[in-house]
Amino acid sequence: MNLFHREIQDVCSLFEQQEKRELPITDRLPNDLGKNNMVFSDQSAFELGGGTNASVSFDLPGAEEGLIDRDKIVLIGRDLNELQSDVSFARITLLEIADDGLKGDALYDRLEKIKFTKYRVNPEGYMLRTASGNREKVRVSKSCAGQFGFSEIGSCYMQAYHQLPFVKKVKIFFVTGEDELVKPLAEIGERKRQITDAIDHILKGMAVNDCNACSVKELCDQVEGMRELHGRQPK
């Protein structure tokens, strides 16, 4: 599956020249409170993507062998214990998944399972407050910021992604306070959303038999593997 090949390459190129830290993957994880994970305003230390600060979050799966060398958590910016106020925020996840030759509904279902994994990650004191479109706003409690960092939070996400049997490797980027990175990341995330929406469009049978008359033709022409989803050839 090469649907997001361009987007993966753009993310890697954008981060390549940035100063960054690789954080350890750990088994020392905060308790997962599920739907009971609440952080009230008087308990809050700060919000990631809070206030007027921008935020962006999306995942990019690909089946290319060697897409990711190994599981990895990468931080660009400051860690939780180094923050004192609301900052801009990005969480970008690259996933190497099994190439099972899936098409149609089966492929779309796989993409949806990856997308909704974030809702199964609820570390105590790290509350996902807003997750609309490609935006993700997180309220972090004082106790969480004092005890845990993105090493532990990233490890929680890592564990959740690996519960999906088709996920082989995961690379998670956390970005805090780097405003100049958020806009280009948001543009990449928007392209990813357009591709996913086009897949949904095709699978719901909205695409017409004549490719030249179809509203997603331009995207099909640009994205490798898109046309094969519905088995049509260009006319």
Which residues of the chain fall short of a pLDDT of 70? 1, 205-235
Domains and CATH numbers, the chain: 5-179 (3.30.1650.10)
- C-alpha dist (Å) from residue 146 to 23, 30, 77, 125, 150: 17, 12, 17, 10, 12
- At 16 the pLDDT is 92
- Assessment of whether the complete model's pTM goes beyond 0.85: yes
Question: Dihedral of the CA atoms 171, 175, 179, 182 (nearest 10)?
Answer: 30
Candidates 200, 208, 191, 209; CA nearest to 229 is 200
The 3-state DSSP class for residue 45 equals: strand
pLDDT digits (tens, 9 = 90+) for 161-173: 999 999 999 999 9
- At 234 the pLDDT is 40
Query: Can you read off the two tokens belonging to residue 7?
Result: 């987007």
Candidates 27, 34, 26, 46; CA nearest to 140 is 46
End-to-end CA distance of the chain: 23
Give the Cα separation of 217 and 165 in Å (integer).
Answer: 33
- At 223 the pLDDT is 54
- At 214 the pLDDT is 56
Give the Cα separation of 79 and 145 in Å (integer).
Answer: 9
Q: Is the dihedral of CA 194, 174, 166, 67 positive or negative?
A: positive
- At 202 the pLDDT is 75
Query: Can you read off the two tokens belonging to residue 129?
Result: 């407050």
In what order do the strands lie in the sheet containing 44-48?
A: 44-48, 135-141, 126-132
Amino acid at 125: G
Give the Cα separation of 127 and 122 in Å (integer).
Answer: 7
